[in-house]
Structures are given as C-alpha cells and as structure tokens.
Amino acid sequence: MTDLERILTRVERPARYVGGELNTIIKDWERVPVRIVFAFPDVYEVGMSHLGMHILYHVVNSRDDALMERVFAPWIDMEREMRREGLPLFSLESHRSVCDFDVVAFTLQYELSYTNVLNMLELAGIPLECRARDSGMPLVVAGGPCAFNPEPLAPFLDAVFLGEGEEALHDLVEVVHRYKGGGREELLMALARVPGVYVPRFYQPEYGADGGFRRIVAQAGVPAKVVKRVVRDLDRAPYPLRPIVPYLEAVHDRAVLEVFRGCTRGCRFCQAGAIYRPVREKRPETLLDQAEALLSNTGYRELSLSSLSTTDYSHIKELVAELVERYGNEPVNVSLPSLRVDSFAVELARSVQGVRKSSLTFAPEAGTQRLRNVINKQVTERDLLQTVETAFAAGWMRLKLYFMLGLPTETLEDVDGIARLARMVLDKGRECGAPKGRLAVTVSTSSFVPKPHTPFQWEPQAPLPVLRERQAFLQGRLKGKNLVYRWHDPETSFVEAVFARGDRRLAPALRRAVELGCRLDGWRECFRFDLWQQAFAETGIDPGAYAYRSYGYTDALPWDHLDSGIDREFLTREHAQALAGETTRDCRNDQCTGCGLCPNLEIEPYVAEAGTGAPV
C-alpha cells in the first residue's frame, strides 16, 4: 500500500481524489513539454460541474505539445490526512505532485474560494508569494470572473488571464514552451505582452496620505491597461464533446450544451452580464450536432441548455422542440437552468418536462416595481402573476422565487414588497386549485454584493445589522402555511463584498485567515466569521472600509487598469439612471445602448439567423 492508498481508506468519498473517470486524458509525461494542472479551488463535485474547466481541458489536451490534468480542493478530512502523512497535493490524472507541473492554473469563480487557492498552494509545497518562487517552481496563474479584480490575490499570482480562455491558453502554452528552462523574469515579461494577460508584479499601486487607493502604475514595457480576451466566433470555437463523466454525482450531473455566451438584459447588479459581452449565439444546426455527440459520448440522461439566460436564445422554441423530438423517448430530459419571468418560458419548460415533479424557479430580484426599475430587472408584477398562473395551470405546485436584500436605495417598503409578492403568488396557486398539501412557495434571498465593472461598482453594501434586520423582518412576514423562507448568511456576503472590491492591501489578511484555519468558506459548515474578523484585526484591516465604501465617479478604483471593454461613461450613466429609477432596454433586439464594448473590442453581437438549411 502506498501512502495515498492508505489515506484513501480513511476519507469520505475517495473517488474525489483518484481520477480514472470516463474520457479522462492521460498523456505520456516525458513526451509532452508543457504541463498544466487546472486547479479548481473547491471540492470535486463543484469543480466538475464547471463548464469552463471542461472547455480548457479539451483545448489544452488537443495540442500535442501540452497536457492538462486536474486538481480540486481536498475536503477537510482529506486535508487532515494529507498533512499527517506529509503527502503533497497531487493531480487526479497522473497522481503527480502539483509542484511538478509547469503551470498551476486556478479559476476564480467566487471570492470565498480565495482561501482555498492559498491553502492548495501550501498543500502543494509552493511558496505563496510569487517573489519567493524561483524558476524551478510552477507558474501560478488564474482566470475566471474574479480575475476582473484579482488585486487581493496579486502577491500570490504570477499572471492573471482576463476574459475568455479558449484562445489565451494557446498563447500561454507557447510562451511557457519558449521560455522553459529560462529565467522567471523573462517569462513573465513575455506573458505580460500577451493580450489579456495581467502580470501583477509589473504594476505598482499607490495610496494617498488618507489611506485611499490613488492609482496603479504600469512599469515600462507592459500595457497600462489590460483588455479582456473574447472569442469572436463562438459557433466555431472548440467545445468539449467528450467531457469527463464523473463517477461521483457532481452538483450538475448532466451533459451541458452552451447555447450562447453573453447576456444583454443589463441587470445593473450582474457582473456576468457585464464581463461576458457581447451576445454570441451558436447556430441551431451546430447545437444539434453537439447535442448528439455529447449524449453519445457520455451516456447522460439529461441535457442542460446552458447560458446566462437560455430562454433568450433566438431559436429556443425550435431547438427545444427538435431535441425533444429526437431524444424524448430515449429517455433523455432536456433542462433549462434559468427561466425568464414570462409565460413563454413556462410553456418552454412544459414542453421539455413531461412529468412536472420538480419546482420552477423565477428571479424577480426585488419586491417593488420602483426597485426593479433601479436594478433594470424588467419584470412587472403583472408579468410575474401571469407567469405563475401559467405555471400553476400547467400543474406545477412548487415555485421558488429569488430576491436580493440590500439593493441600492432599498427601503423596508421594498422588503415588504417581497412578502406581498410571495403572498400574491400563493393566492394565485390557491385560485388555480393547487392542492393545499402540495402547494409551496419558497422565497430565497441573498445579500447584494457590489461587483467591479458593473453600474453598481460605486455603491456600498448594506451594513450587516441592516441586512440581518431586513432578513428578520421578512422572516416575520413570510410565516404561514405553504410559505418557506430561505436566506444566505449575510456574513459570507460581507466577506465577499470586501474581496470583490478589495485592493492589494487585503493580501496579508487573506493569508492570515488561511493560517487561522479559514477554508472552504463557501460551505456554511466551514465558514468561520470569527476567524475572519480576527484575521482582519490582526493585519490592521477595517473590512467595513471596503464593503461599505461609496466611490465617486472620479475616484480611482483598484481595478481601473483592467478593462472589460465597457466604457466607464456607460457605467456612470447607468448608475445615474438607476438612482433616477429609469430603465435601459436590452440591446439584443432594440437599438444599441452604447456600452462601448463592440467598438472597443472591434466585435459585434451575433444572433443566429433562422432558416440556414437545418431542419430546425
């Protein structure tokens, strides 16, 4: 028995750590010059549900000169055993130590996974600070949505990839190959010249006498602003048609078909809607071919049509009808991850779901029309009631409604509006004759977190006591038969807000939190707010100064040097309109809203045309 084998007998779900799943790629280590390990800073079941990982695994492994393996954050029991036996973090494919790879590539999906990034580096035996790593150590890089403000992680990351990775990863492989065996500094300088790559050590922040962030200065030879990368033709972009099929049940345990990227609805709180612009659809015939390949290569019984707002796909009705026609008897279920609040969406859900055993979820986000206008969520009370009526009439009895607490300008009246809406929905259910025993309306709230590159990036987060008070208020108003209220802990949202808009001065606090034992913070049973407070206190950080900070339009922002392609003027205009309660149309069908992205990146939205020869 090896050390690993012995450890595996003592941990929960050892299959998380060993690999060997269907469609895994194991290459001959000695014959491949560039070796990358994709590091997902959360547990296996979460990481394996992430489409980006499957895409990059496919992109890198399709090259002869590179390989990509995987590693995930170990659960607490595994970490304890690894530390006890002195076993360093290892990849799933070849069971090699992570520090043997040329590149460790993290994805930053969520601020609360930052402690896992540091903990994984430490478990791998890789010095945390870039400056302490010599050329014999792997290059540590990161991408993903949080890469749009990676400043709190800046001292730990050699390079950060902004935007979509399909093409940028090829550049990474080539640069690493060319500079292999050479000095770290030359390699980093070459990377800093690749479009979309940000090498934090070449950028120095400056702070004012008052302690405020003043600006960030790029050293000579690197771009002053790093602009995100974007895939121009999504229809022809590489797509993983032989994704790894986990043995363990992943969070999303199904085949995933990405129908389009980007979303132009323009919800003002939404970072994904900002950083994944413009909308790029795939053609229906491409999607049908990909669906066929995915199902026959995986054996999944569920196909999920994925995007930020799948109901918006130009040919969604025809696509779904064709998929149900082809696979409905297999039996393969087609699933829609997010539903727009309208009857069309319910009809669509009905057409894919023969048996309506599950619940339907809608996200009005705010309780009053006034506040929905502020956030540009263009859903009226009438829309919602009509939609739920269609849903109840179609036989659904359990509905879930998502809202946010603490949105800019929110008052108690808006919070009360959530309860009022929920009761109206419930009444509709009774009106439609849903049986009392099975009717259920679940309200879920999360706390608003201001995110960089959105029109709300200047806004403060609502103070913790206010969030708690509003939650308690809502709890009181949502008591009653057939009503369920669920909420996210505001403390986690507070830490999320601190890091979302943080600067480099947070790095020591993050490091201290890891030393104190913070990790897997996204898991309620692991999150330790007391340890976070201790870490902030010991490193002299006032977390409230980050979360509750209100920025002026002319204030420097710690992420000003990172360019999502959207004009700052557009964001200020959107912010002003939000406060005035004015909405902005979707650019998909109406006229251009002038966000600046298309001219800035020299790209155009692509909406698939109808009747291009396919049976759809």
Partner 1 sequence: MPRFRLCYRQEGRARYVSHLDIVRAFERATRRAGLRLLYSQGFNPRPKLTFAAPLAVGVSGCREYLDLELEEEREPVEVLEALRSNLPDGLVPVAVRVVADGPALMSLVDRTRYLAVGPVPEGFDARALQAELAAFLSRGEIVVERRSAKGLKRKNIRPGIYSLRAGINGGKLCLSMELKAGAGNVRPDEVLKALGERLPLVPDDFAVLRTALMSRDNQLLWGGKGDGE
Annotate 410-448 with b (16+ C-beta within 10 A) or e (fewer).
beeebbbbbbebbeebbebbeebebeeeebbbbbbbbbb
Separation CA 142–CA 150 (nearest Å): 9
Which range, of 293-301, 396-404, 435-443, 517-525, touches partner 1 by CB under 8 A? 293-301
**Long-range CB pairs of 325-331, under 8 A, 24+ apart, other chains included:** 326/288, 326/291, 326/292, 327/291, 327/295, 327/303, 328/354, 330/295, 330/301, 331/301
One of 248, 321, 440, 516 touching partner 1 (CB under 8 A): 248
Q: Can residue 8 be called a binding residue for partner 1 (CB under 8 A)?
A: yes
Taking the least distance from each CB to partner 1, the nearer of 215 and 326 is 326
Among 97, 297, 361, 386, contact with partner 1 (rule: CB under 8 A): 297
String of contacts with partner 1 for each residue 21-40, x by CB under 8 A = xx-x----------------
Instruction: Determine the Cα–Cα distance for residues 53 and 250; give it in Å rounded to an integer.
Output: 13
User: How many residues belong to the site for partner 1 (CB under 8 A)?
Assistant: 30
Based on the shown chain and the rule CB under 8 A, indicate whether residue 354 belongs to the binding site for partner 1. Answer: no
Q: Does 302 bind partner 1 (CB under 8 A)?
A: no
- Measured from the CB atom, the residue of 89 and 510 that comes closer to partner 1 is 89
Cis peptide, bond prior to residue 331, ω within 30 of zero: yes
Cβ 469 to partner 1 shortest distance, Å: 41
Q: Does 47 bind partner 1 (CB under 8 A)?
A: no
Q: Which of 22, 610 has the CB closer to partner 1?
A: 22
Using rule CB under 8 A, residue 331 touches partner 1: yes
DSSP secondary structure code for residue 580 in this structure: T
C-beta of 9: minimal distance to partner 1 in Å?
5
Nearer residue to partner 1 within complex by CB, 293 or 424: 293
Please answer whether residues 11 and 75 qualify as being in contact, where contact means their C-beta atoms are separated by less than 8 angstroms.
Answer: yes
CB of 1 to partner 1, least distance (A): 5
The minimum distance between CB 594 and partner 1, in angstroms, equals: 48
Q: What letter represents residue 408's amino acid? A: P
Under rule CB under 8 A, residue 525 binds partner 1: no
Q: Between residues 246 and 502, which has the closer beta carbon with respect to partner 1?
A: 246
The answer to whether 19 contacts partner 1 (rule: CB under 8 A) is: yes
What are residue 255's DSSP bridge partners? 303
DSSP single-letter state for residue 596: S
132-171 positions binding partner 1, by CB under 8 A: none
* CA–CA distance, 486 with 422 (Å, rounded to integer): 13
Q: Is 37 helix (H, G, I), strand (E, B) or coil?
A: strand
Write down the least CB distance from residue 73 to partner 1, Å: 18
14 binds partner 1 (CB under 8 A): yes
Work out the angle between the directed axes of helices 464-477 and 412-431 (0-180°, nearest 10).
30
Least gap, CB of 323 to partner 1 (angstroms): 16
Q: How far is the CB of 23 from partner 1 (least distance, A)?
A: 8
Pick 10 or 438: Cβ nearer partner 1: 10
* Minimum distance from residue 247 beta carbon to partner 1 (Å): 4
Comparing CB distances to partner 1, the nearer of 92 and 108 is 92
Cα distances (angstroms) measured from residue 157 to each of 71, 172, 407: 17, 15, 32
- Supply the minimum distance, in Å, between the C-beta of residue 43 and partner 1: 15
Instruction: Figure out which of the listed residues 28, 249, 525, 602 binds partner 1, where binding follows CB under 8 A.
Output: 249
Shortest reach from residue 95's CB to partner 1, in Å: 9
245 binds partner 1 (CB under 8 A): yes
CB 308 within 8 A of CB 345: no
Least separation in angstroms between CB 20 and partner 1: 3
Q: How would you label 114-141 residue by residue, b for 16+ Cβ within 10 Å and e otherwise? A: bbbbbbbbbbbebebebeebeeebbbbb
Among residues 365, 478, 503, which one has the least CA distance to residue 424? 478
Q: Does 325 bind partner 1 (CB under 8 A)?
A: no
Question: 296 or 411: whose CB is closer to partner 1?
Answer: 296
Would you say 299 or 552 has its CB closer to partner 1?
299
Whole-number CA gyration radius for the chain: 24
When asked if residue 20 is in the footprint of partner 1 (CB under 8 A), the reply is yes
**Residue 259 and residue 602 in contact, taking contact as beta carbons nearer than 8 Å:** no
Kindly list the distances between the CA atom of residue 311 and the CA atoms of 117, 159, 456, 474, in Å, as whole numbers in the listed order: 35, 36, 25, 30
Tokens of 116: 């896992």
Name the residue nearer to partner 1 (CB basis): 4 or 218: 4
Sort 615 into a burial class: Cβ within 10 Å, 0-12 / 13-18 / 19+.
Answer: exposed
The angle formed by the CA atoms of residues 281, 286 and 289, to the nearest 5 degrees, is 145
Q: Which listed residue (300, 527, 532, 570) binds partner 1 by CB under 8 A? A: 300
Identify whether the C-beta of residue 563 lies closer than 8 Å to the C-beta of residue 224: no
Instruction: For the CB of residue 48, give the shortest distance to partner 1 in the complex, in Å.
Output: 13
- Least distance (Å) from partner 1 to the CB of residue 248? 6
Q: Which of 463, 352, 348, 476 is nearest to 416 (CA)?
A: 476
Residue type, 102: D
Stretch that binds partner 1, among 1-9, 266-274, 305-313, 500-508 (CB under 8 A): 1-9
- Determine which residue in the list 9, 28, 221, 611 makes contact with partner 1, applying CB under 8 A: 9
6-14, 71-79, 182-190, 456-464 -> range binding partner 1 (CB under 8 A): 6-14
Asked if 272 is part of the footprint of partner 1 (rule: CB under 8 A), the reply reads no
423 vs 508: CA distance, rounded Å: 47
Of 196-204, 215-223, 299-307, 570-578, the segment contacting partner 1 by CB under 8 A is 299-307
Q: What is the nearest approach in angstroms of partner 1 to the Cβ of residue 119?
A: 23
> Minimum distance from CB of 331 to partner 1 (Å)?
7
Coil, strand or helix at 190: helix
Binding region for partner 1 (CB under 8 A): 1, 5-6, 8-10, 13-15, 17-22, 24, 245, 247-249, 296-301, 330-331, 355, 357
